[in-house]
């Protein structure tokens, strides 16, 4: 690291977020185009599989479930009635089962789909990031530490509730999960940590999910983003400044 370069966690949180988004979206699109769409059609199409893909990091785990609060948090920018109707369709397709507590879990058929989508993601990320094995491994290790610290901080008595992150973390990582899938799902899970930080920031500023989405660029939006960075920064203290720069460089070098 060059002398004098300072990259505290709150600054890093703001810089790494778009890089994480880019790599995660690239991996998910590769999955869709590389067999995921065809796989979904075999199980009934998006109307049957949409929420399984979205909540795969928890629902793929044996006995994995997402509670009602977590579902609402993950879908906080969408119309609740529309989401419930979509969920009803996936229940009708036999892919998802509702729980008495308002949560959801995958059926046996849904679990079969999720096992196959993990395989699709293994194949496409191997191809997408071919030739970057060392870089992927470094990022898997770094974001593993960040994720671990995020989970630890979330469990502290004075921690602010993060319902979306709680619904999605920790990601399901069975033995033998390829590095590309580990990276894709760790990045995806950490995006919900930031989503909770953002929701806390706009709530503190007196906004709702609807009003903040309509907020134009300007000082107020900038203040919310800076507060989001502050609230999202905690887990990045698990990396030193040099490691933070290395993570940014590795993310920038990955195709996608």
Q: What's the pLDDT band for 4 if we cut at 50, 70, 90?
A: low
By DSSP bridging, strand 65-66 and strand 104-106 are: antiparallel
Report the predicted TM-score, pTM, of the whole model to 2 decimal places.
0.95
Distances (CA, A) of 205 to 73, 81, 104, 192: 18, 26, 32, 20
Q: Which residues contact 229 (CB under 8 A, 6 or more apart)?
A: 10, 11, 13, 14, 197
Domain ranges for the chain, please list them.
9-253
Residue 172 · residue 64 · CB < 8 Å? yes
> pLDDT (tens digit, 9 = 90+) per residue, 168-184?
999 999 999 999 999 99
Average pLDDT over residues 145-167: 92
**DSSP-assigned beta bridge partners for residue 97:** 105
CA 10 to chain centre: 19
């Amino acid at each position: 690291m060059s002398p004098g370069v300072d990259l505290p966690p709150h600054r890093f949180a703001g810089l790494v977020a778009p890089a994480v988004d880019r790599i995660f979206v690239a991996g998910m699109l590769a999955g869709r185009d590389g067999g995921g769409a065809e796989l979904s059609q075999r199980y009934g199409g998006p109307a049957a599989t949409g929420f399984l893909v979205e909540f795969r990091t928890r629902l793929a785990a044996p006995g994995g479930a997402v509670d009602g609060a977590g579902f609402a948090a993950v879908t906080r920018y969408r119309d609740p009635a529309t989401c419930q109707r979509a969920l009803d369709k996936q229940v009708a397709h036999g892919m998802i089962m509702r729980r008495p507590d308002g949560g959801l879990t995958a059926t046996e058929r849904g679990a079969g789909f999720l096992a196959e989508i993990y395989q699709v993601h293994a194949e496409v990320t191997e191809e997408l990031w071919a030739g970057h094995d060392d870089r992927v491994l470094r990022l898997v290790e770094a974001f593993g530490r960040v994720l671990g610290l995020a989970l630890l901080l979330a469990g502290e008595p004075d921690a602010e509730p993060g319902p979306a992150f709680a619904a999605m973390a920790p990601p399901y990582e069975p033995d033998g999960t390829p590095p590309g899938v580990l990276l894709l799902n760790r990045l995806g899970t950490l995006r919900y940590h930031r989503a909770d930080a953002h929701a806390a920031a706009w709530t503190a500023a007196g906004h709702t999910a609807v009003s903040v989405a309509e907020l134009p660029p300007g000082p107020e939006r900038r203040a919310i983003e800076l507060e989001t960075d502050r609230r999202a920064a905690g887990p990045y203290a698990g990396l030193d400044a040099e490691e933070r720069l290395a993570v940014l460089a590795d993310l920038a070098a990955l195709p996608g």
